């Protein structure tokens, strides 16, 4: 297998590089978001979710040794227990003195009470003393042996502790060296990473600026388009509103006109049905009178600025019963021509019905207007 | 709010309309606007005047009828078509005249006035009213019946037209006839219709440019003396025949016209080398040069207010009508139409100028409106000359030359013409004052 890898070292390197690149891109991608989110959005309501990568978080932090403390630091060595002090000889002598005194006193007493006792006690005391001495010697020997044994154990323990301490120190030293090495490597790596990150950040900043500029332009364009669209919409709505109002107004006017027409029609009906027909008949009647008088009026040649009114009274048959000039028409000749026109038109056209007949007609001679 | 207001207004309008409609037949007069008139001539009949003293030497009714007919404004009913010939208003059966569509009837008679003359009375009857609308009485001398007839026409004319008639006016003109192997020129003065012609001056040498004094008592004209090689500009008193020579300077002495006040004569003189217009004061004999131009300036004519003088000048190349103030200042050209324009003559009201315009149709009489400078042609040509306004401004007299030499009159609107035939060649008519 290693041989195979060695044989394909290029591929391996490429694969490694690709992995690294992917990792880097991941890191960059995450950072891209977190970076932008960290710069704020100038008050824009753009909600962004940033995915936080623990690695990137770590890398954001100041470079630190990866492991703060080695888990395998040698525990502080416990103090060696001190050997229990041997019972004091002086105390023992004092006790022995006490006992002698006691014995003396008791002896004295016993001598006083019984010299026998004294002997037995003497023997006893001697026996006891002897036992005591023997015990004392034995204890002393035992004590000495014990001390020797303890000293030996202590020495052994101490040696072992020393050896252990030494081994531990050696291990600590080795570990420190490894740690230093690792730390240096980590620092170098962090440094490289920082440089990479810096470059990355710069690139990202550039991209971000470009993106922001683009986004700003787009935002502006969008806002402008929106504004325009709104204005157009508003104009459309205004036009529509006006059209609606106009339509309403017209409808109202039509309604009103219809109502008034209806009212007029009703009033006409109330006033007399033939009045509706009368206006037409009246128009025709007036035109007939006009035609007749005009054809009979011989205007004096050269007479200018003719203007006058004439009141004529007539009978229902059109016969003229009265002629009254309301002021001169401009000259006696014109006055005469006007009167003759009326006289020549006598009888005037007969009214088509009593309803349009008027016993008085006012002629307005205005040929020059 | 608006709506209710509008509704209120509509209701109010409807109410007013209703009230008017209902009230109209009862109270308000029917309104009829007359804006047009008939273009027909005025129908009139003048019945033969009666006479208490036998046959009248002048057919007064006929003379008056001819007067009215000549104007083109009257449609005179012919005597032969009259069913009756009443001489008094109470004899008239109006219905007959109405049937004949004779709107107006004149009836009258003449009787000796006890002084050798006549008293003429007549009535103007409105046939449709069936009554007299005007009665007149005229005294005439024994030989004044013709003038009396013209007066009848004048009175009727004024009644219908509104202007004074010109039937008593006279005209002056020049005739040229062969006589005794030579030409004879005459300055003639006659009635406006050519009757009663009288020779004022006669010569074998040419006579030109007669001009009436405003009061009609004198005529200024130019007489040539071939032998002396001179022309004489003179003023002749018509009553006495006295001649006052105004100018016989070397060169041209021509085209005299009277100022409206009759105190001055404008004329064309060339004694200084070039024909220019001068003003001659008849009271002081002072001569004032009005134009001073290298071109020919001639045919001066005073405006009725005396402020301007129209004249002919070829200073623009061809003869055209110009106008200047009567002191010679502010010369302006008036005519631009046609090939040439000349012989300007003011109307009595100063609002028109008659002239001779030369165009592709020859020489025709044109009338220019002095307010608008619009020109209209009123004669047919091709050789019309010497236009002059009638004293009431309603007609223009001019000379027609060609196959028949004659004088003609035309109404100022160019509608009607009549001819005053004369023997021989006739030129340069000048229309005198009204004569009354």
Tell me if the bond preceding B71 is cis, omega within 30° of 0: no
Q: A26 and A164: one domain?
A: yes
> How confident is residue A38, by pLDDT bands cut at 50, 70 and 90?
very low
Interchain pair A301, B38: CB under 8 A? no
Residues of B in contact with A294 (CB under 8 A): 34-38
Interchain pair A364, B29: CB under 8 A? no
- Long-range contact pairs involving B317-326 (C-beta distance under 8 Å, separation at least 24): B321/B353, B321/B355, B321/B368, B322/B297, B324/B290, B324/B291, B326/B259, B326/B279, B326/B290, B326/B302
pLDDT of residue B114: 87
**A295 in contact with B, Cβ within 8 Å:** yes
pLDDT of residue A89: 63
pLDDT of residue B175: 92
In angstroms, rounded to a whole number, what is the distance separating the alpha carbons of residues B47 and B70?
A: 18
CATH code for the domain of A349:
3.30.1150.10
Q: Is the pLDDT of residue A48 over 90?
A: no
Interchain pair B160, A253: CB under 8 A? no
Residues of A in contact with B371 (CB under 8 A): none
In angstroms, rounded to a whole number, what is the distance separating the alpha carbons of residues A339 and B131?
A: 13
Closest CA to B332 of B350, B320, B344, B347: B320
| A152 assigned to some structural domain | yes
Closest CA to B407 of B417, B415, B392: B417
In angstroms, rounded to a whole number, what is the distance separating the alpha carbons of residues B88 and B48?
A: 11
Write down how long chain A is: 369
In angstroms, rounded to a whole number, what is the distance separating the alpha carbons of residues A123 and A112?
A: 18
Token digits of residue A193: 């990473």
Residues of B in contact with A269 (CB under 8 A): none
- ipTM here: 0.75
Q: Is the pLDDT of residue A79 over 80?
A: no
* Alpha helices per DSSP H over A272-359: 274-296, 332-344
Residues of A in contact with B20 (CB under 8 A): none
Residues of A in contact with B21 (CB under 8 A): 268, 271, 275
Residues of B in contact with A357 (CB under 8 A): 25
CA B14 to each of CA A266, A268, A275, B93: distance values in angstroms, whole numbers, following the listed order: 11, 10, 14, 54
Query: What is the Cβ-side half-sphere exposure of residue A99, based on CA atoms within 13 angstroms?
Result: 14
Top-tier CATH class for B2-20+169-431: mainly beta
**Does residue A207 sit in helix, strand or coil?**
helix
Interchain pair A333, B162: CB under 8 A? yes
Interchain pair B129, A366: CB under 8 A? no
Phi, psi angles (nearest 5°) of residue A249: -60, -45
Average pLDDT over residues A237-265: 86
Residue of higher predicted confidence among B87 and A146:
B87
Looking at domain B39-161, its CATH superfamily turns out to be TolB, N-terminal domain (3.40.50.10070)
Residues of B in contact with A295 (CB under 8 A): 38
Q: Choosing among A266, A269, A296, A298, which should be mutated to test the B contact, i.e. which has the most B CBs within 10 A?
A: A298
pLDDT of residue B138: 93
**Does residue B75 sit in helix, strand or coil?**
strand
- The total of other beta-carbon atoms located within 10 Å of residue A113's CB is 11
| A315 assigned to some structural domain | yes
Q: Is the pLDDT of residue A202 over 80?
A: yes
Residue with tokens 């004369």: B422
Interchain pair B17, A264: CB under 8 A? yes
B interface with A, Cβ–Cβ < 8 A, is 3, 6-7, 10-11, 13-15, 17-18, 21-22, 24-25, 28-38, 40-42, 73, 103-104, 126, 128-129, 133, 158-163, 393-394, 411, 413
Minimal Cβ distance to B128: which of A290, A346, A355: A346
| A183 assigned to some structural domain | no
| A289 assigned to some structural domain | yes
The H or E element containing residue A157 is helix A115-271
Give the residue from A124, A143, A168 where a domain finishes. A168
Q: Is the pLDDT of residue A130 over 50?
A: yes
Provide the shortest C-alpha distance from residue B395 to chain A (in Å). Answer: 11
Q: In chain A, what is the straight-line distance between the N-terminal and C-terminal CA atoms, in Å?
A: 125
In angstroms, rounded to a whole number, what is the distance separating the alpha carbons of residues B231 and B210?
A: 14
Domain residues for the domain of A290 are: 282-365
pLDDT of residue B311: 97
Provide the shortest C-alpha distance from residue A305 to chain B (in Å). Answer: 12
Tell me if the bond preceding B382 is cis, omega within 30° of 0: yes
Interchain pair B29, A360: CB under 8 A? yes
pLDDT of residue A368: 80
Quick one: closest CA in A to B164, which residue?
A: A333
| A163 assigned to some structural domain | yes
Question: How many structural domains compose chain A?
Answer: 2
- Please enumerate in sequence order all residues whose Cβ is within 8 A of that of B56, keeping only pairs 6 or more positions apart, or say none: B49, B110, B118, B145
pLDDT of residue B179: 85
Give the residue from A140, A168, A196 where a domain finishes. A168
Q: Is the pLDDT of residue A36 over 60?
A: no
**A364 in contact with B, Cβ within 8 Å:** yes
Q: Choosing among A253, A302, A321, which should be mutated to test the B contact, i.e. which has the most B CBs within 10 A?
A: A302
- Please enumerate in sequence order all residues whose Cβ is within 8 A of that of B274, keeping only pairs 6 or more positions apart, or say none: B293, B294, B295, B296
Q: What is the pLDDT of residues B108-164, one digit of tens each?
A: 999 998 888 999 999 999 998 889 999 999 999 988 999 999 999 999 999 999 899
> How confident is residue A53, by pLDDT bands cut at 50, 70 and 90?
low
> E strands of B226-339, at which residues?
230-237, 243-247, 253-258, 264-269, 276-281, 287-289, 297-302, 308-313, 320-325, 332-333
Average pLDDT over residues A6-23: 78
The mean of the pLDDT values for chain A is: 78
Angle between helices B145-161 and A332-344 (to 10 degrees): 70
Give Cα A275 distance to the centre of its chain. 79
Sketch the domain layout of chain B as residue ranges: 2-20+169-431, 39-161
Q: Is the pLDDT of residue A328 over 70?
A: yes
In angstroms, rounded to a whole number, what is the distance separating the alpha carbons of residues B398 and B35?
A: 35
Written as one string, the DSSP assignment of A230-245 is: HHHHHHHHHHHHHHHH
pLDDT of residue B224: 92
Interchain pair A362, B17: CB under 8 A? no
Give the residue from A133, A149, A168 where a domain finishes. A168
In angstroms, rounded to a whole number, what is the distance separating the alpha carbons of residues B261 and B213?
A: 9
CA dihedral sign, ordered B52, B58, B63, B65? positive
pLDDT of residue B401: 83
Interchain pair A301, B40: CB under 8 A? no
> E strands of B303-392, at which residues?
308-313, 320-325, 332-333, 340-346, 352-359, 362-369, 375-377, 384-389
Query: What is the Cβ-side half-sphere exposure of residue B50, based on CA atoms within 13 angstroms?
Result: 15
CA B323 to each of CA A220, B38, B366: distance values in angstroms, whole numbers, following the listed order: 79, 38, 16
Q: Choosing among B34, B94, B367, which should be mutated to test the A contact, i.e. which has the most A CBs within 10 A?
A: B34
Q: Choosing among A252, A260, A274, which should be mutated to test the B contact, i.e. which has the most B CBs within 10 A?
A: A260
The size of the A-B interface in CB pairs under 8 A is: 138
Token digits of residue B341: 């324009």
Interchain pair B36, A294: CB under 8 A? yes
| A27 assigned to some structural domain | yes
Mean pLDDT by runs of 10 across the 436 residues of chain B is 43 44 56 89 94 86 94 92 92 92 94 90 93 93 92 95 94 90 92 92 94 96 90 96 95 95 96 95 96 93 97 94 95 93 96 95 93 92 92 93 83 78 81 93
| A324 assigned to some structural domain | yes
Asked whether B46 and B65 are in contact (CB, 8 A), the reply is yes
| A211 assigned to some structural domain | no
> How confident is residue A369, by pLDDT bands cut at 50, 70 and 90?
confident
Residues 298 through 317 of chain A touching chain B, CB cutoff 8 Å: 298-303, 311
Written as one string, the DSSP assignment of A54-85 is: HHHHHHHSPP--S-SS-TTPPPPPPPPPPPPP
């Amino acid at each position: 297998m290693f041989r195979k890898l060695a044989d394909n070292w290029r591929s391996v390197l490429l694969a490694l590089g690709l992995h690294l690149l992917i990792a880097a891109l991941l890191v960059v991608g995450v950072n891209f978001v977190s970076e932008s989110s960290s710069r704020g959005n100038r008050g824009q309501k753009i909600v962004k979710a940033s995915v936080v990568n623990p690695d990137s978080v770590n890398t954001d932090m100041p470079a630190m040794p990866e492991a703060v403390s080695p888990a395998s630091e040698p525990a502080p060595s416990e103090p060696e227990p001190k050997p229990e002090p041997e019972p004091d000889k002086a105390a023992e002598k004092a006790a022995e003195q006490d006992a002698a005194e006691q014995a003396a006193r008791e002896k004295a007493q016993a001598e006083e009470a019984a010299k026998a006792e004294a002997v037995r006690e003497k023997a006893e005391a001697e026996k006891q003393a002897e036992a005591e001495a023997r015990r004392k010697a034995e204890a002393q020997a035992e004590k000495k042996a014990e001390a020797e044994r303890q000293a030996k154990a202590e020495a052994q323990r101490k040696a072992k502790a020393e050896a252990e301490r030494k081994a531990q120190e050696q291990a600590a030293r080795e570990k420190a060296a490894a740690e230093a090495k690792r730390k240096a490597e980590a620092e170098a790596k962090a440094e490289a990473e920082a440089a990479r990150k810096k470059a990355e950040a710069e690139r990202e900043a550039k991209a971000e600026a470009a993106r922001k500029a683009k986004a700003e332009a787009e935002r502006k364009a969008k806002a402008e388009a929106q504004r325009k669209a709104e204005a157009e919409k508003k104009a459309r709505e205004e036009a529509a509103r006006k059209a609606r109002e106009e339509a309403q107004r017209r409808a109202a006017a039509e309604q009103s006109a219809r109502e008034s027409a209806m009212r007029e029609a009703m009033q006409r009906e109330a006033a007399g049905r033939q009045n509706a027909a009368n206006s037409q008949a009246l128009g025709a009647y007036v035109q007939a009178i006009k035609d007749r008088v005009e054809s009979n009026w011989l205007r004096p040649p050269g007479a200018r600025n003719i203007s006058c009114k004439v009141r004529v009274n007539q009978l229902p048959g059109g016969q003229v019963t009265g002629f009254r000039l309301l002021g001169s028409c401009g000259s006696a000749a014109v006055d005469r021509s006007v009167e003759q026109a009326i006289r020549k038109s006598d009888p005037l056209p007969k009214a088509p019905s009593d309803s349009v007949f008027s016993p008085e007609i006012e002629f307005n001679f205005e040929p020059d207007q | 709010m608006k709506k209710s207001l509008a509704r209120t207004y509509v209701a109010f309008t409807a109410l007013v309309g209703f009230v008017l409609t209902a009230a109209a037949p009862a109270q308000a007069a029917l309104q009829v606007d007359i804006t047009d008139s008939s273009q027909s001539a005025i129908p009139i009949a003048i019945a033969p005047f009666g006479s208490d003293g036998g046959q009248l030497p002048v057919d007064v009714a006929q003379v008056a009828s001819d007067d009215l007919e000549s104007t083109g404004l009257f449609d005179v009913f012919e005597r032969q078509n009259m069913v009756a010939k009443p001489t008094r208003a109470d004899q008239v059966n109006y219905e007959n005249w109405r049937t004949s569509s004779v709107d107006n009837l004149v009836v009258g008679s003449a009787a000796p006035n006890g002084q050798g003359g006549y008293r003429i009375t007549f009535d103007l009857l409105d046939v449709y009213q069936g009554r007299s609308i005007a009665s007149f009485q005229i005294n005439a001398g024994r030989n004044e019946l013709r003038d009396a007839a013209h007066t009848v026409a004048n009175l009727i004319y004024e009644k219908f037209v509104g202007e004074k008639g010109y039937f008593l006016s006279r005209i002056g003109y020049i005739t040229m006839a062969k006589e005794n192997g030579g030409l004879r020129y005459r300055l003639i003065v006659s009635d406006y219709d050519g009757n009663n012609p009288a020779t004022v001056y006669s010569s074998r040498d040419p006579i030109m440019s007669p001009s009436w004094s405003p009061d009609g008592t004198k005529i200024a004209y130019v007489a040539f003396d071939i032998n002396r090689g001179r022309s004489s500009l003179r003023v002749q008193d018509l009553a006495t025949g006295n001649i006052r020579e105004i100018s016989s300077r070397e060169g041209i002495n021509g085209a005299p016209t009277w100022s409206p006040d009759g105190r001055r004569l404008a004329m064309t003189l060339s004694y200084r080398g070039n024909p220019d217009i001068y003003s001659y004061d008849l009271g002081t004999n002072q001569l004032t040069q009005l134009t001073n131009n290298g071109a020919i300036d001639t045919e001066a004519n005073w405006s009725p207010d005396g402020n301007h003088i129209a004249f002919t000048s070829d200073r623009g190349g061809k003869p055209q009508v110009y106008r200047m103030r009567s002191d010679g200042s502010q010369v302006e050209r008036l005519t631009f139409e046609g090939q040439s324009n000349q012989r300007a003559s003011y109307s009595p009201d100063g609002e028109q100028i008659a002239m001779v315009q030369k165009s592709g149709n020859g020489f025709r009489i044109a009338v220019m409106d002095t307010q608008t400078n619009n020109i209209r042609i009123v004669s047919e040509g091709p050789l019309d000359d010497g236009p002059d306004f009638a004293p009431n401004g309603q007609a223009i007299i001019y000379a027609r030359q060609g196959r028949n030499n004659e004088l003609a009159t035309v109404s100022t609107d160019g509608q009607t013409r009549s001819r005053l035939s004369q023997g021989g060649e006739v030129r340069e008519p000048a229309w005198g004052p009204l004569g009354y």
